[in-house]
Structure 1
Amino acid sequence: MAFNGTANFFVIMVETLGPLFLIRTLHLRPGMVGLLLALGAVGGVAGGVAAQYLARKVGSARISWIAMTVLSLPGLLIPLAGPGWWVLLFGIGWISWTFSSTVAGFSLTSYRQAACPPDMLGRVSAAARWITWGTLPLGGLVGGVLATALGVRTTLWVAVAGGCCAGLWLFFSPLRGLRDIPLGKLAPAGGVL
């Protein structure tokens, strides 16, 4: 929950300020802004397709922290975007973030569903969502305040650096010492539900 809450706090800054950055700073047309933002969905779908394969090959515990500490690093390209072809840096960074968060989320959600007693799963899921989604409005508000004080591009740097650092919650957790998340009798062959 600490990882998800931290990641959501910073990702919503990019989602909130991304269109503003693309329109006011880079002077892109609305169609191009929509296309670049839609690339996030492409990364999410690709992450969903690749998640089980990566969990089997790398390990379900390892891939959760590798995705959010290594695979998310191209997200640092987002504030480097500029006019012309340089705008593709925004798209590459955005795809990497949505890909890596989907891959990590696959393993972590599978663990929560397998480890939680069935009669408590609804309450545990609701509490987790309340905490992790509760950071979204806070991130949007802080992003707006920072953008007003520091500028949009500088705030995007803060957001992408913070988002990439969110994976440190997983890196410094017991997951780093495991290949697979222990799912016990609930896990099918391959270690991922």
Structure 2
Amino acid sequence: MQACPTCSKRLYRAFTRDGPVYVCRSCGGRAVSVSVLRKTASADFLRRLRHKSAHSVGERERACPLCARAMAKVDFREKDREVVLEVCGPCRLIWFDPGEYVTAVPDSLGRPKLEIEPPGPGDDGASFGLTGTEHAWQVLPAIVGLPIEYGPNRLRDRPLATWTLATVMGALFVLLLRAGGGLALGKAIFKWGFIPNEWTRYGG
């Protein structure tokens, strides 16, 4: 059971538009994972949070609801109000006391929109937004050691520049193959390929 760091009551899972959070129905505090928080918080806030938590030297009193280790205290001044957050680095979890979330994160999730449900008996760290892969095929890169991002931000704009560059490169590859087979392609690679010892040729 995940317990509230403030009053030791059970935490309950609530679903928001950007992912699950854990809330305490007794004191009103909430636990939010970094993967969920970064979908609403500014990059500057997350950067300061990471820096302050890494250099925190204050007393560690409250226990992380996930791993029970003492969380680092992080002092913030937002909207002329002092906010003291608790951060668990290993679990990538931030604890907000009542009212701190809206103060610290201007574009906040607000109140949970969907029904709160109690955590199941098998709930663990995955419940804090560190869920499994969204698609089954994403397991394949993980098998060969490639990194997998959990809860990634949705694309806001179409990557037109990336698609255009990929199309141009594909078209050039096909043209070189049709022009002179593998020989023409080999000559092009030999002439235009990047050589570390001659990185300045053709302007780098």
TM-score by length of 2: 0.24
Q: Which has the higher contact order (CA 8 A, sep 6+)?
A: 1
TM-score by length of 1: 0.25
Name whichever structure is richer in helix by fraction: 1
* Structure whose CA Rg is larger: 2
- The structure richer in strand per residue is 2
